[in-house]
Amino acid sequence: MRVLRGIAPVAGLSFVHLVDDMYQGAVPALIPFLVAERQYTYAAATGITVAATFLSSVLQPLFGVLTDRRRLAFLVPSGVAIAGIGIGLSGLGPHYVFTWLAIALSGIGVAAFHPEASRAARVASHGSARGMSWFALGGNIGFALGPLLVTAVLTGGGLTATPLLAIPAVATGLVVALLQRRSRDAVAKKTTETGREDDWSSFRWLTGLVMCRSICFFGVNSLLALFLTKNLGFTESTGNAALTVLLATGAAGTLLGGGLADRYGRVRTVRLGYLLIVPGLLALLFAPNAVVACLAAALLGFALYIPFSVQVTLGQDYLPNRIGTASGVTLGLAVSVGGIVTPVFGLLADHAGLSTALAVLLVFPVAALAISTRLPDTKPQVLSTTAS
């Protein structure tokens, strides 16, 4: 399915994914500006994050169910545009409720975008894990660019400049909508994979595995810099550098995972990722210097991201007749668990130390490896479209 005419479909969708997820990454960067200009409490600031992440994650499966009933191609351009408009409005209202609702609107846009865009990426890549890895990479890059965009725009203009943040999203949404109208493939169709039944048992096991990855990722992402500065005496710049290394190698791990999955099998690739998390965490816990710590962060980045896009394609393969639902759960609901559970590790770090909190994270890759024994492997399927 060519959502973008005249551009390689997966590359085009990856770029739109980049723009959409840029607004997820923008939310944490907005919070310091809100606290500084409006004197929000930390509780209020946390509420802003919940408005964006939790609501988006919960709604994604619902949008997935809708797209399983009828292909809703318009959700791709409208979702990315709404994600940007919500962020653009967030700095204009003087009241907390207005800001909260604006951020929630952005979260709804993000939720609307992902299931239909994931379906489009699957069809465009003919079900390959490599194609989905490029789509996922766009989102990873966009999330990282969000804070840079917010800092560049708001440092000089303050919160009154937030409408400028919406420009990339609105422009992208308009272009995609226009290209859809000109494309014959913009006619409503339903993706089908004949002769296959949904495997709900395997999908439930996969959902548990995705949750393990999410908890481990958010835990490492939240504690890494703190551990290096507080426990190992590294400077703040070194701690942030290690975090940057983790995210940068994660992008490479996303692409590596897709290539390995198509060549050696998806479940094998998923297991490799979780297997490598264990030595990565152990190397971090016992790192004697900054070099070893950064190498450990690099290994963790590869390991945590190798299964990411592969798990999405597995979910779609297990539910071939409900691709939107599978995408909504694996990209949204299950992933949000890590963000919800992360405060528990913060409390554990407060009472038992950062080393203990990181050590406990070892439970999750081990649990994921155990869960993976219940997962059947799959091969890319030839997809077709029929009028709905």
**pLDDT tens digits for 304-350?**
999 998 999 999 899 988 888 888 888 877 767 877 787 788 888 88
Give the closest residue to 258 by CA, choosing from 195, 324, 181, 311: 311
Banded pLDDT at 236 (limits 50, 70, 90): low
pLDDT digits (tens, 9 = 90+) for 68-101: 888 788 999 999 999 999 999 999 988 899 999 9
Q: How far apart are CA 162 and CA 168, in angstroms?
A: 12
Does residue 4 have a pLDDT over 80? Answer: no
Banded pLDDT at 384 (limits 50, 70, 90): very low
Quote the pLDDT of residue 8: 62
- pTM score above 0.85: no
Quote the pLDDT of residue 380: 57
SS3 category, 178 = helix
Banded pLDDT at 183 (limits 50, 70, 90): low
Banded pLDDT at 283 (limits 50, 70, 90): very high
Instruction: Go through 28-39 and write b for each residue having 16 or more CB atoms within 10 A of its CB, e for each that does not.
Output: bebbebbeeeee
Q: How far apart are CA 76 and CA 185, in angstroms?
A: 14
SS3 category, 194 = coil
Does residue 254 have a pLDDT over 50? Answer: yes
